[in-house]
Amino acid sequence: MILVTGSSGFIGSRLSHGLISRDCRVRTAIRGDGPTSIDDLAKCDAIVVGGIHASTDWSVALRGVEVVVHCAARAHVMHDRARDSLSMYRTVNVDATRRLAEQAASAGVRRLIFLSSVKATAERSLPGHPLRVDDIPSPEDAYGISKLEAEQSLWEVSARTGLEIVIVRPPLVYGPGVKGNFLRLLRLVSWGVPLPLGSINNARSMVYIDNLVDFLHTCVFSSASAGRTFFPSDGQDLSTIALIRKLADATGRPARLLPMPPYALMLLGRMIGKSMEIERFTATLQVDLTDARRLLDWSPPYTVDHGLGETVTWFLNQS
């Protein structure tokens, strides 16, 4: 039995569907405060655990479970205006994760796979030097800090209990149902809005949602994944310009790219209060897929073009 937490979210719902389609026995842990997007809900146990915090009782959901894939989290929020955002992130992303791991170990669960984030490592990488799992982490915001602290708490629980831990740090995840900056960019491209990104020279790693699901499925069953940290990706990094052109082609729109020097673009971002968004569109952030390929013999089954095509088809059907 595989327990998936956060099963009403973008990744958790797709993962639950993907595991069920592979004939896995799946149980989902849901908060019970909103609808689930899992079409196959009738094919799995759905356990309501309530709020996610340091006192959450996971015991019922953990009965008979061999592997937990922990996707539940307080997601990254751009321009988070909470007075103590780090404390709020820690409550869900650190305290609740530690509680789940401790109860999982007590329940005899063999392995816990934690969906972390590339932001636990860094916000950017040097050109030609993708982030590696042995790089010294330097998270810059409350979300990234909380994800790194959650990883550290899991290793501590593992050392005490023997619970196998697998850390997965995906870069930007896209696909049908995507939100955030990717969806905003897709809307702008589909509207034909001129974008002042024509002078950007960068490279970004991404991972299509079904590639991530396939990778997580591999981590569930591969003995080589235990005790490891991985960066999954599509294996084909794109510049922001290349991404926009591919999205434009898929939507049938011209790519309206205006040249603007990076320093002028950053100045514009500060003037309109969009510095963080501009940074994410212009910075280089690549991850190294070597460990996933070498240790797990894993390669992404879907190409970038396939993933972007599926995403645009979904988007156009929603419009």
pLDDT computed for residue 38 by the predictor: 47
Gap between the Cα atoms of 131 and 148, Å rounded? 15
Q: Is residue 81 pLDDT above 80, yes or no?
A: no
**Size of the chain in residues:** 319
Tell me the torsion sign for CA atoms 308, 141, 147, 88: negative
DSSP string spanning 101-138? HHHHHHTT--EEEEE--GGGT-S--BTTB-B-TTSPP-
| Inter-CA distances, 158 with 106, 166, 190, 227, Å | 12, 10, 47, 9
Task: Identify the three-state secondary structure at position 206.
Answer: strand
Task: Identify the three-state secondary structure at position 250.
Answer: helix
Relative to beta strand 172-174, strand 206-208 is: parallel
| Inter-CA distances, 167 with 39, 219, 228, 241, 273, Å | 27, 10, 6, 31, 34
> In this structure, what are the phi and psi dihedrals at residue 265, rounded to the nearest 5 degrees?
-65, -45
**Cβ-proximal residues to 7 (8 Å cutoff; 6+ apart), any chain:** 13, 15, 16, 28, 29, 30, 36, 38, 46, 71
pLDDT computed for residue 311 by the predictor: 97
Whole-number CA gyration radius for the chain: 20
Relative to beta strand 164-168, strand 111-115 is: parallel
Structure tokens at 65: 């479970």
Gap between the Cα atoms of 72 and 317, Å rounded? 28
Give the whole-number percent of the chain exceeding pLDDT 90. Answer: 69
Catalytic residue among 89, 143, 208, 302: 143
Mean pLDDT throughout 113-131?
Answer: 94
CB atoms within 10 A of CB 235: 16
User: Domain 2-169 falls in which CATH fold?
Assistant: Rossmann fold (3.40.50)
pLDDT tens figures, 17-69: 999 999 999 999 887 654 444 454 545 678 877 788 888 888 999 999 999 99
pLDDT computed for residue 55 by the predictor: 86
Contact at 8 Å (CB) between 266 and 108? no
**Residue tagged 């820690």 (tokens):** 90
Verify whether residue 208 is a known catalytic residue: no
pLDDT tens figures, 282-308: 889 999 999 999 999 999 999 999 999
Looking at every residue in the chain, the average pLDDT score rounds to 89
Q: Label residue 199 by pLDDT band (50, 70, 90).
A: confident
| Inter-CA distances, 306 with 21, 78, 106, 173, 303, Å | 20, 28, 42, 14, 5
**Cβ-proximal residues to 53 (8 Å cutoff; 6+ apart), any chain:** 91, 92, 95, 96, 99
Q: Label residue 83 by pLDDT band (50, 70, 90).
A: low
Structure tokens at 214: 């396939």
pTM score, whole prediction = 0.90
Q: Is residue 266 pLDDT above 90, yes or no?
A: no
Contact at 8 Å (CB) between 8 and 47? no
